[in-house]
Structure 1
Amino acid sequence: MSLVSVRGLQKSVTLPDGSTLEILRGIDLDVEAGSTTAIVGRSGSGKSTLLNVLGLLDTPTNGTHEFGGVDVGRAGSLRRDRIRGADVGFVFQQFNLLQGRTAVENVEIPLLYATGKDFWRRRRLAIEMLDRVGLADRADTQPHRLSGGEQQRVAIARALVRSPRLILADEPTGALDVDTGRIVMELLETVAAETGAALMTITHDAAVAARADTVHRIDHGLVVDAFEEAAA
């Protein structure tokens, strides 16, 4: 059984003039646990919207969406929130770190919604994850004192600290130089492989896409091409 399965997935919004903008127009997609997938396509093709729907940040207008065998398209908001908090890790293109909070406090944030020992051990878990990304010595540093590459690694640590089943990365190397971008992708792939998580990446970088097991091209809200790509 696929970790994520969507059929006929549609997403539309109503514009101020009353017209309807169709963003996703009928996506069929399966994501297996432990797989690496790249989503490519032109700006405005619907890639980020698809990622937000798959990550339960947004809801589809039509179609079916299953996550781990649960019909999350029909689930209530509370259950969706719980699944997203426990099982989905996001790496945002703009990092979305909280200013005024240290690196370790940013990484702790997902653990504030944990229960049991993970909640009480949240600082230790956050520091351990910062150590995984090479930033243990920057744990008490605020984002504005970190380089772009360091901020991205903090964002990755935050995404991975709860060992999610699905890792969603929106242009994770977009603001990084080639060498740092390669290190970031290797880290994401290593953690995903160790935990059996599925890794899905939106990218304009052909080198990043070529690292994935599967590449899907989105155009005007549809999967217009999907092919198997040997991992680099």
Structure 2
Amino acid sequence: MSLIDLDGVSRSVILPDGERLEILRGVTFAIDAGEHVSIVGRSGSGKSTLLNLMGLLDTPTEGEYLLEGRPTSGLSQRRRARLRGAGFGFVFQQFNLLPGRTALANVAAPLLYAGGREFWSRRRLAHDMLERVGLGERADTMPEKLSGGEQQRVAIARSLIRRPRVILCDEPTGALDVQTGTEIMDLLDAIAAETGSTLVTITHDTMVAARAHRHYRLDAGVLTPLDRSALDAPRQVVAS
């Protein structure tokens, strides 16, 4: 049984003029626990919408999303939020760190909604996670005093603080230089392998995509498998 299973998933919205905009069209694919899957595509191809659906931030217009074999369509908003908080970690191109709060406070923030031991141990757990991403000595530093790579490491630590089963990355290296981006992907790969987490990377950078076990292209809302050989050319970026 797959961990994530999308069956004929479509997503559309109605524009102000009454026209229907099709964002995703009949997406069908499955991801097993512990896999690293990449999805490449241009800006506007539907990549972020697909990630939001997988992360229970959005719902399909048609089709079904099964999580561990169970349909998600009938879940209440509260249940979706609980599953999302406990089982998913999100890493975005924009680091989305809380201004005016230290790196430690940013990483500990998701545990403010946890219960029991996680809540009371949140500072220790956050410090341990900062150590894991190489920023233990920067725990008391404000985000604006951190480099772009350091801010992304804090964001990764925050996304992993609850030990999610699925890590969803939306252009995780898009705001970074090549060397720093490579270091961030090395870190994500290492942590995913260490914890057995499923890693889904949405990117327009084929070098980042090539690191995955399986590869897909999303074009005008249609998802198709992508052969690894198509990603092995010299570094390239899918046109925005």
Tell me, yes or no, whether TM beats 0.5. yes
Post-superposition shift, 1:225? 3.1
Match of 2:113 in 1: 113
Aligned to 2:33: 33
Show the counterpart of 1:173.
173
**Contact 2:210–2:228 (8 Å) recurs in 1:** no
Query: Which residue number in structure 1 is paired with residue 199 of structure 2?
Result: 199
**Contact 2:216–2:225 under 8 Å retained in 1:** yes
Identify unmatched segments of 5+ residues in structure 2: 233-240
The letter of the residue matching 1:121 is S
Question: Could you tell me the percent identity over the aligned residues?
Answer: 60
TM-superposition CA deviations, 1:123-157 (whole Å, max 9, x none): 11111111111111111111111111111111000
Q: Deviations over 1:142-189 (max 9, x none)?
A: 111111111111100001111100000111111112221111111111
Q: In the alignment, which residue of structure 2 is the partner of 1:44? A: 44
* Root mean square deviation of aligned Cα: 1.7
Offset of residue 228 of structure 1: 5.8
SS, match of residue 58 in structure 2? coil
For 1:39, give the aligned amino acid: I
User: What is the DSSP-based 3-state SS (H/G/I as helix, E as strand, rest coil) of the residue aligned with 1:49?
Assistant: helix
What is the match of residue 140 of structure 1?
Answer: 140
- Would you say the 8 A contact 2:37–2:212 is kept in 1? yes
Could you tell me which residue of structure 1 aligns to residue 236 of structure 2?
none
Separation in structure 1 between the aligned mates of residue 68 and residue 111 of structure 2, nearest angstrom: 21
The answer to whether the Cα contact below 8 Å between 2:148 and 2:175 also exists between their aligned partners in 1 is yes
Whether 1:93 aligns to 2:93 is yes
Paired letter, 1:138: R
User: Alignment partner of 1:224: what SS?
Assistant: strand
Q: Which amino acid aligns with 2:174?
A: G
> How far apart are the structure 2 equivalents of 1:68 and 1:109?
27
- Letter matched to residue 215 of structure 2: V
Query: How many residues are matched?
Result: 232
Cross-structure match for 1:20: 20
CA distances 1:48-91 after superposition (whole Å, capped 9, x unpaired): 10001100111111110011233112211111100000000000
Q: Which structure 1 residue ranges, 5 or more long, are not aligned? A: none
The question of whether the paired residues in 1 share the 8 Å contact of 2:165 and 2:198 is answered with yes
- Partners in 1 of 2:145 and 2:41 — Cα distance? 34
Q: Where does residue 212 of structure 1 map in the other structure?
A: 212
The TM-score, its normalising length taken from structure 2, stands at 0.92
Aligned equivalents of 1:20 and 1:141: distance in 2? 47
Whether the 8 Å CA contact 2:10–2:60 is kept in 1: the answer is yes
SS in 2 for 1:30: strand
When structure 1 is superposed on structure 2, of 109-118 and 55-64 the one drifting more is 109-118
**CA apart distance, 1:119:** 1.3
List 4+ stretches of structure 1 deviating above 2 A: 224-229
For residue 124 of structure 1, give the secondary structure of its aligned residue in structure 2: helix
- Aligned AA (2:117): K
CA distance in 2 between partners of 1:72 and 1:95 (Å): 28
Deviation of 1:227 (Å):
3.8
Distance 1:85 1:124 in 2: 19
